[in-house]
Amino acid sequence: MDISIIIPLLNESESLLELQTWINSVMEKHGFTHEIIFINDGSTDDSWEIIKQLHSEFDSVKGINFNKNYGKSQALHAGFIEAKGKVVITMDADLQDNPEEIPELYKLITEENYDLISGWKKKRYDSVVFKNLPSKLFNKAARWTSGLKLHDFNCGLKAYKLQVVKHINVNGEMHRYIPVLAKQAGFSRISEKVVQHQARKYGKTKFGAERFINGFLDLVTLWFFAKFGKRPMHFFGAIGVLMFLVGLLSAIWIGSSKLYKLWNGLPNILVVDNPWFYIALSAMIIGVQMFLAGFLGELVLRTKSNQKRYLISEKI
Protein backbone atom coordinates (compact mmCIF):
# COMPACT_ATOMS: atom_id res chain seq x y z
CA MET A 1 0.00 0.00 0.00
CA ASP A 2 1.31 3.43 -0.94
CA ILE A 3 -0.35 5.79 1.54
CA SER A 4 -2.12 5.66 4.89
CA ILE A 5 -4.04 8.85 5.65
CA ILE A 6 -4.77 9.34 9.35
CA ILE A 7 -7.47 11.84 10.25
CA PRO A 8 -8.31 12.51 13.93
CA LEU A 9 -11.56 14.36 14.42
CA LEU A 10 -13.97 15.76 16.95
CA ASN A 11 -17.46 16.81 15.85
CA GLU A 12 -16.69 17.26 12.16
CA SER A 13 -19.73 15.51 10.67
CA GLU A 14 -20.37 18.30 8.15
CA SER A 15 -16.98 17.98 6.47
CA LEU A 16 -16.34 14.21 6.41
CA LEU A 17 -18.11 13.28 3.19
CA GLU A 18 -16.60 16.22 1.29
CA LEU A 19 -13.13 15.44 2.67
CA GLN A 20 -13.33 11.74 1.76
CA THR A 21 -14.53 12.56 -1.75
CA TRP A 22 -11.71 15.06 -2.21
CA ILE A 23 -9.06 12.60 -0.99
CA ASN A 24 -10.38 9.80 -3.23
CA SER A 25 -10.27 12.11 -6.21
CA VAL A 26 -6.61 12.92 -5.57
CA MET A 27 -5.69 9.28 -4.97
CA GLU A 28 -7.39 8.10 -8.18
CA LYS A 29 -5.83 10.90 -10.20
CA HIS A 30 -2.31 9.83 -9.18
CA GLY A 31 -2.94 6.09 -9.02
CA PHE A 32 -2.11 5.64 -5.34
CA THR A 33 -3.25 2.64 -3.35
CA HIS A 34 -4.38 4.00 -0.03
CA GLU A 35 -6.36 3.73 3.17
CA ILE A 36 -8.12 6.47 5.12
CA ILE A 37 -8.22 5.94 8.87
CA PHE A 38 -10.70 8.19 10.66
CA ILE A 39 -10.23 8.36 14.44
CA ASN A 40 -13.39 9.62 16.08
CA ASP A 41 -12.17 11.22 19.30
CA GLY A 42 -15.39 11.13 21.32
CA SER A 43 -17.59 13.18 18.97
CA THR A 44 -21.08 13.99 20.20
CA ASP A 45 -22.51 14.62 16.71
CA ASP A 46 -23.10 12.14 13.85
CA SER A 47 -19.42 11.78 12.92
CA TRP A 48 -19.18 8.07 13.76
CA GLU A 49 -22.37 7.20 11.89
CA ILE A 50 -21.01 8.96 8.81
CA ILE A 51 -17.69 7.12 9.12
CA LYS A 52 -19.53 3.79 9.28
CA GLN A 53 -21.54 4.76 6.22
CA LEU A 54 -18.38 5.67 4.32
CA HIS A 55 -16.79 2.38 5.39
CA SER A 56 -19.72 0.42 3.97
CA GLU A 57 -19.36 2.24 0.63
CA PHE A 58 -15.57 2.41 0.29
CA ASP A 59 -13.09 -0.35 1.12
CA SER A 60 -10.36 2.25 1.68
CA VAL A 61 -12.18 3.85 4.62
CA LYS A 62 -11.46 2.52 8.11
CA GLY A 63 -12.52 3.89 11.46
CA ILE A 64 -11.61 3.90 15.13
CA ASN A 65 -14.16 5.15 17.65
CA PHE A 66 -12.96 6.30 21.06
CA ASN A 67 -15.19 5.79 24.06
CA LYS A 68 -14.77 9.48 24.94
CA ASN A 69 -12.59 12.45 24.04
CA TYR A 70 -8.96 11.57 24.82
CA GLY A 71 -7.20 14.20 22.74
CA LYS A 72 -5.42 14.44 19.42
CA SER A 73 -2.21 12.75 20.59
CA GLN A 74 -4.07 9.59 21.61
CA ALA A 75 -5.99 9.61 18.33
CA LEU A 76 -2.77 9.83 16.31
CA HIS A 77 -1.23 7.08 18.44
CA ALA A 78 -4.14 4.76 17.63
CA GLY A 79 -3.92 5.64 13.94
CA PHE A 80 -0.16 5.06 13.82
CA ILE A 81 -0.65 1.55 15.20
CA GLU A 82 -3.12 0.66 12.42
CA ALA A 83 -1.28 2.36 9.52
CA LYS A 84 0.08 0.04 6.81
CA GLY A 85 1.07 2.37 3.95
CA LYS A 86 4.76 2.97 3.25
CA VAL A 87 4.04 6.69 3.59
CA VAL A 88 1.78 7.96 6.37
CA ILE A 89 -0.03 11.27 5.99
CA THR A 90 -1.74 13.03 8.89
CA MET A 91 -4.25 15.79 8.33
CA ASP A 92 -7.13 17.51 10.08
CA ALA A 93 -10.77 16.85 9.23
CA ASP A 94 -11.92 20.48 9.08
CA LEU A 95 -11.00 20.97 5.38
CA GLN A 96 -8.30 23.49 6.29
CA ASP A 97 -5.65 21.01 5.07
CA ASN A 98 -5.58 20.55 1.31
CA PRO A 99 -5.44 16.91 0.03
CA GLU A 100 -3.88 18.20 -3.20
CA GLU A 101 -0.63 18.52 -1.23
CA ILE A 102 -0.42 14.74 -0.66
CA PRO A 103 1.30 13.71 -3.94
CA GLU A 104 4.17 16.16 -3.43
CA LEU A 105 4.57 15.09 0.20
CA TYR A 106 4.64 11.46 -0.96
CA LYS A 107 7.43 12.23 -3.45
CA LEU A 108 9.53 13.98 -0.83
CA ILE A 109 9.39 10.87 1.36
CA THR A 110 9.83 8.22 -1.32
CA GLU A 111 12.10 9.93 -3.86
CA GLU A 112 14.17 12.29 -1.70
CA ASN A 113 14.30 9.86 1.23
CA TYR A 114 13.11 12.20 3.96
CA ASP A 115 11.95 10.64 7.21
CA LEU A 116 9.40 13.34 7.97
CA ILE A 117 8.03 16.35 6.12
CA SER A 118 6.11 18.89 8.17
CA GLY A 119 3.64 21.25 6.54
CA TRP A 120 4.26 24.97 6.88
CA LYS A 121 1.14 27.11 6.69
CA LYS A 122 2.99 30.22 5.62
CA LYS A 123 -0.23 32.08 4.92
CA ARG A 124 -2.87 31.37 7.53
CA TYR A 125 -6.58 32.14 7.74
CA ASP A 126 -6.76 32.12 11.55
CA SER A 127 -7.09 34.86 14.13
CA VAL A 128 -3.89 36.91 14.20
CA VAL A 129 -4.07 37.68 17.92
CA PHE A 130 -5.38 34.39 19.29
CA LYS A 131 -3.65 31.87 17.00
CA ASN A 132 -1.03 33.29 14.65
CA LEU A 133 1.07 35.32 17.09
CA PRO A 134 1.07 32.68 19.88
CA SER A 135 1.93 30.01 17.30
CA LYS A 136 4.93 32.02 16.11
CA LEU A 137 6.18 32.37 19.67
CA PHE A 138 5.84 28.65 20.38
CA ASN A 139 7.46 27.70 17.09
CA LYS A 140 10.39 29.98 17.85
CA ALA A 141 10.77 28.42 21.30
CA ALA A 142 10.54 24.92 19.80
CA ARG A 143 13.24 25.74 17.25
CA TRP A 144 15.50 27.04 20.00
CA THR A 145 15.09 24.05 22.31
CA SER A 146 15.06 21.30 19.66
CA GLY A 147 17.51 22.58 17.07
CA LEU A 148 15.02 21.79 14.27
CA LYS A 149 14.65 24.66 11.83
CA LEU A 150 10.93 24.28 11.22
CA HIS A 151 8.47 27.16 11.01
CA ASP A 152 5.27 25.32 11.93
CA PHE A 153 5.67 22.39 14.34
CA ASN A 154 1.94 22.09 14.98
CA CYS A 155 0.70 21.88 11.40
CA GLY A 156 -1.67 18.91 11.15
CA LEU A 157 -0.56 18.08 7.60
CA LYS A 158 2.58 15.95 7.80
CA ALA A 159 4.14 13.03 5.92
CA TYR A 160 6.18 10.22 7.49
CA LYS A 161 7.97 7.07 6.54
CA LEU A 162 6.05 4.15 8.03
CA GLN A 163 8.93 3.20 10.34
CA VAL A 164 8.88 6.69 11.89
CA VAL A 165 5.32 6.41 13.17
CA LYS A 166 6.01 2.89 14.43
CA HIS A 167 8.93 4.06 16.56
CA ILE A 168 7.66 7.26 18.19
CA ASN A 169 5.38 7.40 21.20
CA VAL A 170 2.89 10.27 20.99
CA ASN A 171 1.30 10.79 24.41
CA GLY A 172 -0.13 13.56 26.54
CA GLU A 173 -0.46 16.48 24.15
CA MET A 174 2.85 15.94 22.37
CA HIS A 175 1.25 15.92 18.90
CA ARG A 176 2.43 19.54 18.66
CA TYR A 177 6.04 18.41 18.70
CA ILE A 178 6.07 15.17 16.70
CA PRO A 179 9.10 16.32 14.65
CA VAL A 180 11.03 16.71 17.92
CA LEU A 181 9.97 13.22 19.03
CA ALA A 182 11.12 11.84 15.68
CA LYS A 183 14.49 13.55 16.03
CA GLN A 184 14.91 12.16 19.53
CA ALA A 185 14.12 8.67 18.15
CA GLY A 186 17.05 9.01 15.72
CA PHE A 187 15.30 10.14 12.53
CA SER A 188 17.41 13.02 11.28
CA ARG A 189 16.11 13.69 7.76
CA ILE A 190 13.36 16.10 8.74
CA SER A 191 12.27 19.04 6.65
CA GLU A 192 9.21 21.12 5.79
CA LYS A 193 7.10 22.12 2.82
CA VAL A 194 4.95 25.20 2.39
CA VAL A 195 1.34 24.01 2.18
CA GLN A 196 -1.91 25.73 1.39
CA HIS A 197 -4.04 26.67 4.38
CA GLN A 198 -7.75 27.18 3.86
CA ALA A 199 -10.34 29.01 5.90
CA ARG A 200 -12.56 26.79 8.04
CA LYS A 201 -15.71 25.92 6.08
CA TYR A 202 -17.85 24.34 8.79
CA GLY A 203 -18.14 24.63 12.56
CA LYS A 204 -15.55 26.25 14.80
CA THR A 205 -12.15 25.42 16.22
CA LYS A 206 -12.02 22.87 19.05
CA PHE A 207 -8.96 24.41 20.72
CA GLY A 208 -9.22 27.12 23.36
CA ALA A 209 -6.74 29.53 24.92
CA GLU A 210 -5.53 26.86 27.35
CA ARG A 211 -3.69 25.14 24.49
CA PHE A 212 -1.03 27.86 24.59
CA ILE A 213 -0.28 27.22 28.26
CA ASN A 214 -0.32 23.47 27.65
CA GLY A 215 1.91 23.91 24.64
CA PHE A 216 4.53 25.78 26.66
CA LEU A 217 4.45 23.20 29.46
CA ASP A 218 4.72 20.36 26.94
CA LEU A 219 7.74 22.05 25.39
CA VAL A 220 9.45 22.29 28.79
CA THR A 221 8.62 18.62 29.41
CA LEU A 222 9.98 17.64 26.02
CA TRP A 223 13.23 19.53 26.63
CA PHE A 224 13.64 17.91 30.05
CA PHE A 225 13.01 14.39 28.78
CA ALA A 226 15.39 14.94 25.88
CA LYS A 227 18.15 15.91 28.30
CA PHE A 228 17.40 13.80 31.36
CA GLY A 229 14.57 11.39 30.49
CA LYS A 230 16.89 8.39 30.63
CA ARG A 231 18.95 9.64 33.58
CA PRO A 232 16.85 11.70 36.04
CA MET A 233 19.51 11.25 38.73
CA HIS A 234 21.89 13.37 36.65
CA PHE A 235 19.53 16.33 37.04
CA PHE A 236 17.91 15.92 40.45
CA GLY A 237 20.92 14.22 42.01
CA ALA A 238 23.36 16.89 40.86
CA ILE A 239 21.18 19.72 42.19
CA GLY A 240 20.53 17.78 45.40
CA VAL A 241 24.22 17.16 46.08
CA LEU A 242 25.04 20.81 45.34
CA MET A 243 22.29 22.08 47.66
CA PHE A 244 23.31 19.67 50.42
CA LEU A 245 26.97 20.70 50.19
CA VAL A 246 26.04 24.40 50.33
CA GLY A 247 23.94 23.75 53.43
CA LEU A 248 26.58 21.53 55.05
CA LEU A 249 29.41 24.02 54.49
CA SER A 250 27.22 26.82 55.77
CA ALA A 251 26.41 24.80 58.92
CA ILE A 252 30.11 24.05 59.47
CA TRP A 253 30.93 27.74 59.10
CA ILE A 254 28.19 28.72 61.58
CA GLY A 255 29.35 26.08 64.09
CA SER A 256 33.03 27.02 63.69
CA SER A 257 32.23 30.69 64.11
CA LYS A 258 30.27 29.92 67.30
CA LEU A 259 33.15 27.85 68.78
CA TYR A 260 35.72 30.48 67.85
CA LYS A 261 33.79 33.23 69.63
CA LEU A 262 33.23 31.06 72.69
CA TRP A 263 36.95 30.13 72.85
CA ASN A 264 38.01 33.76 72.63
CA GLY A 265 35.29 35.14 74.90
CA LEU A 266 33.75 37.22 72.14
CA PRO A 267 30.08 38.25 72.14
CA ASN A 268 27.93 35.69 70.34
CA ILE A 269 24.33 34.61 69.90
CA LEU A 270 22.59 31.28 70.02
CA VAL A 271 22.95 29.24 66.83
CA VAL A 272 19.16 29.05 66.51
CA ASP A 273 19.01 32.86 66.59
CA ASN A 274 21.23 33.06 63.53
CA PRO A 275 19.11 33.29 60.35
CA TRP A 276 21.90 31.60 58.38
CA PHE A 277 21.31 28.46 60.44
CA TYR A 278 17.83 28.06 58.97
CA ILE A 279 19.10 28.81 55.47
CA ALA A 280 21.75 26.09 55.85
CA LEU A 281 19.22 23.64 57.31
CA SER A 282 16.74 24.31 54.50
CA ALA A 283 19.45 23.85 51.87
CA MET A 284 20.40 20.45 53.31
CA ILE A 285 16.77 19.30 53.51
CA ILE A 286 16.07 20.43 49.92
CA GLY A 287 19.27 18.75 48.78
CA VAL A 288 18.23 15.43 50.31
CA GLN A 289 14.75 15.74 48.79
CA MET A 290 16.14 16.47 45.32
CA PHE A 291 18.52 13.52 45.58
CA LEU A 292 15.63 11.25 46.61
CA ALA A 293 13.55 12.60 43.69
CA GLY A 294 16.32 11.56 41.30
CA PHE A 295 16.60 8.15 42.96
CA LEU A 296 12.84 7.58 42.75
CA GLY A 297 12.89 8.72 39.12
CA GLU A 298 15.48 6.05 38.37
CA LEU A 299 13.33 3.41 40.12
CA VAL A 300 10.23 4.44 38.15
CA LEU A 301 12.19 4.38 34.91
CA ARG A 302 13.31 0.82 35.56
CA THR A 303 9.94 -0.53 36.67
CA LYS A 304 7.45 1.37 34.50
CA SER A 305 4.97 -0.63 32.43
CA ASN A 306 3.04 0.45 29.37
CA GLN A 307 -0.61 1.12 30.13
CA LYS A 308 -3.54 1.71 27.81
CA ARG A 309 -4.20 5.42 27.49
CA TYR A 310 -7.57 5.24 25.79
CA LEU A 311 -10.56 2.91 25.34
CA ILE A 312 -11.71 2.01 21.84
CA SER A 313 -15.40 1.15 21.74
CA GLU A 314 -15.53 0.06 18.10
CA LYS A 315 -13.20 -0.50 15.14
CA ILE A 316 -14.12 -1.02 11.50
Residues 3-61: pLDDT tens digits? 999 999 999 999 999 999 999 999 999 999 999 999 999 999 999 999 999 999 999 99
pLDDT higher than 60, residue 208: no
Residues 68-127: pLDDT tens digits? 999 899 999 999 999 999 999 999 999 989 999 999 999 999 999 999 999 998 876 655
Mean of pLDDT values over 287-305: 79
DSSP letters for the chain: --EEEEEEESS-HHHHHHHHHHHHHHHHHHT--EEEEEEE-S-SSSHHHHHHHHHHH-TTEEEEEESS---HHHHHHHHHHH--SSEEEE--SSS-B-GGGHHHHHHHHHTS--SEEEEE-SS--S-IIIIIHHHHHHHHHHHHHH----S-TT-S-EEEEHHHHHH----TTGGGGHHHHHHHTT---EEEEE--B----SS--S--THHHHHHHHHHHHHHHHHHHTT-HIIIIIHHHHHHHHHHHHHHHHHHHHHHHHHHTT-----GGG-HHHHHHHHHHHHHHHHHHHHHHHHHHHHH--------EEEE-
The pLDDT of residue 307 is 56
The pLDDT of residue 12 is 93
The pLDDT of residue 186 is 87
The pLDDT of residue 237 is 85
The pLDDT of residue 203 is 65
